[in-house]
Structure 1
Amino acid sequence: MNETVGVPKAELHCHIEGAAPPRLVLQFADQHGVDVSEIIDGNGQYVWSDFTTFLKAYDVASSVFKTPADYSLLSETYFRMLAAEGAIYGEIFISPDHAQAAGLSYRSYVEGLAAGIERAKTDTAIEGRMIAIGVRHFGAASVERVAKEVIGNPHPLVTGFGLAGDERSGHPANFAKAFRMAEEAGLGTTAHAGEFGGPESITAALEFLRVKRLGHGVRAIEDKDLVKRLADEKIVLEVCPGSNTALGVYTVLRFHPVNILRREGVKITLNSDDPPFFGTTLGKEYSSVAETFSWTLDDQLDVTRTAIDAAFCDETTRNRLLVRLDSAKNGG
């Protein structure tokens, strides 16, 4: 048996539309009459060649989800898959812009996803939460609109607000207002930075968005002082090694900085980002990183603890998750 299946895991960085298995996309494409032949090959695998074609494939795959019930099956499927790999907690990025494109209201989108999360929890005991994201290349007004929508339609499972999209588009200063609104409403905040943008994108996100978590953040490795700052300020990185190698940020896993960053005292978590697009799963992230960098069981449990400590959930839930983690550590 793969030893890492027994390691309790937690995920903080996964885009729910990007977690759709091709078979589910084909099922709904057939149901709703959407042509997905360009993005799924004869072997049932996603087809893309670079970041631009990946984004296009992602949008086409997302377009087959039309109803709350569709989204409900998507979230239930993903959380069951996570639980089967030993995950006890997962946060998914949800995209109100994609829901709007599908003709769904924000409220019905969230209710559909929440129903699936709850069904998975009933059967597997996995906990799930949602982080609503604004898309930076849609501009500041769009991101603020998402923030207002989230704040105006509170849901107990929507506990965070984030920024995704093309890192090379729009300075973080443009989105400071949206982040202040989310923060004042009690939402946890995170922002993608340091993936395609260099160290300066990370510094700008810290300065203008005041986040304590960063999506990716790995290119901090190019700036020694920034690595020290991340460690000193206890900034948590949502690291996605499989995604980074698939998209060519690093050529192979052994050249990925996840291990060096951790050794330098930066708080690291492991995540799958858009798993079927990148040929990965959360379990695979844990096992491949552990194998490549000779991480022990304790190292892996430490990464899960970091994720639970940084999770956008209430303290009661956090404490319950930590008890589950400790009991696994003690062989219980």
Structure 2
Amino acid sequence: MEAPLAHVRPGGAAPAAPARPPGVPRDVSTLPKAHLHLHFTGSMRHSTLVEMAAGHGVQLPEALVEEWPPKLRATDERGWFRFQRLYDIARSVLRTPDDLRRLVRETAEDEAAEGSGWLEIQVDPSGYAARFGGLSPTVELVLDAVDAAAAATGVGIGVVIAANRTRHPLDARTLARLALQYRDRGVVGFGLSNDERRGRAYDFEGAFRIAKRGGLLSTPHGGELLGPGSVRECLETLDADRIGHGVRAVEDPALLRRIVERGVTLEVCPASNVGLGVAPSAGAVPVRELYEAGARIALGADDPLLFGSRLARQYDLVRAEHGFSDAELAELARQSIAGSAAPDGVRARLLSGVDAWLAA
């Protein structure tokens, strides 16, 4: 599939990796990589949330102030409701176009510091449309902010428009058509998020058919709160190119083989899996099992605002908890780049940087 146009700042060859003393682990924040699983409001810095809330007179709960990062568990309805409520409160501090521009700029700055040379940020414009003049004006505001942030930081950025499982499937079709209108402005994919238990992937087949026929990547969430059946629906019904999370596929060997055969990338988010109670520890997230089975993996931070860690931390976790060698971490970085919508020039530059990181 030809990659859609996206916001990229031209760059030359990857910078030379700094010398590393013998016996010192390579710094994963200098490993060039792509970040494919990051939600819009969830990418906000905690300090920015607190500052914006104070400026707009928004009262934050203790879970987002003194008790941050919040203690979460979303494997039951009550826990998911609390998680979603905290996310909605955080979104409510984005009151002005400048707030939104600041969020995107700071996110790009943080991505650059984490070694991410390509970012695909996921946004459901329905959650912001009432404040910013409608769906189209919201998407245009986001894309303008992305354009400016990419130019300022050198991080290439694509946008994934996401539908909400808790809304009517006809709303998703509207968003799919909207996403296609902006394919030449940097929209690269179409996603499906929110609680898997409240909307089957099957119901959204029409929206994803529209998006895929228009050349967008299919990137639905699945296999996080529900088991392999949810992953299978994303794979077979929504023709997924990537699956957000997808870790429960490990429970069905035949399904996992199908994912490997089709070259589908799983956006695995260790810290958020632990934060939401999907896994009791980072060591219990089946990263090693998926990797050894041959699945493509793109590590992601999901919602750093609520889980307290960004992209480089995910690489540190799989190194510490799953014994990934530096060569294997480099391969994870390559897989994230391969699963992205990054233009060929960006891919080549990042892959060259991965080789330089490993050779240091």
Percent identity over the alignment is: 31
Secondary structure of 1:209's counterpart equals: coil
Aligned to 1:81: 110
In structure 1, C-alpha distance between the alignment counterparts of 2:141 and 2:313, rounded to whole Å: 28
In structure 1, C-alpha distance between the alignment counterparts of 2:102 and 2:243, rounded to whole Å: 29
Pair 1:290-2:319 in alignment: yes
Runs of 4+ more than 6 Å apart: none
Aligned to 2:224: 195
Q: Which has the higher contact order (CA 8 A, sep 6+)?
A: 2
In structure 2, C-alpha distance between the alignment counterparts of 1:164 and 1:97, rounded to whole Å: 13
Aligned to 2:93: 64
Structure 2 unaligned blocks of 5 or more:
1-23, 74-78
Asked if the contact 1:147/1:161 (under 8 Å) is kept, the reply is yes
Pair 1:19-2:43 in alignment: yes
Aligned-pair CA distance for 1:43: 5.9
Aligned-pair CA distance for 1:41: 2.5
Pair 1:90-2:119 in alignment: yes
Aligned-pair CA distance for 1:321: 2.9
Asked if the contact 1:23/1:44 (under 8 Å) is kept, the reply is no
CA RMSD of aligned residues (A): 2.0
Secondary structure of 1:189's counterpart equals: strand
Aligned-pair CA distance for 1:189: 1.2
Aligned to 2:31: 7
**TM-score, normalisation: structure 1:** 0.92
Aligned to 1:28: 52
Aligned residue pairs, count: 331
Secondary structure of 1:91's counterpart equals: strand
Pair 1:41-2:58 in alignment: no
In structure 1, C-alpha distance between the alignment counterparts of 2:356 and 2:232, rounded to whole Å: 38
Aligned to 2:18: none
Aligned to 1:165: 194
Name which of structure 1's ranges 145-154 and 261-270 shifts more when overlaid on structure 2. 145-154
Deviations 1:21-78 (A, max 9, x none): 2221222223333322455223664565532211110011011112322111101111
Secondary structure of 2:243's counterpart equals: strand
**TM-score, normalisation: structure 2:** 0.86
In structure 2, C-alpha distance between the alignment counterparts of 1:200 and 1:12, rounded to whole Å: 23
In structure 1, C-alpha distance between the alignment counterparts of 2:181 and 2:187, rounded to whole Å: 12
Q: How does 1:264-279 map to 2 (within 5 A)?
A: 264-279=293-308
Aligned CA distance change for structure 1 residues 51 and 127 (closer, same or farther; 3 Å)? same
In structure 2, C-alpha distance between the alignment counterparts of 1:135 and 1:14, rounded to whole Å: 15
Aligned-pair CA distance for 1:110: 3.1
Q: How does 1:1-332 map to 2 (within 5 A)?
A: 3-37=27-61, 39-42=63-66, 45-46=69-70, 50-331=79-360
Structure 1 unaligned blocks of 5 or more:
none
Aligned-pair CA distance for 1:235: 1.4
In structure 1, C-alpha distance between the alignment counterparts of 2:62 and 2:178, rounded to whole Å: 33
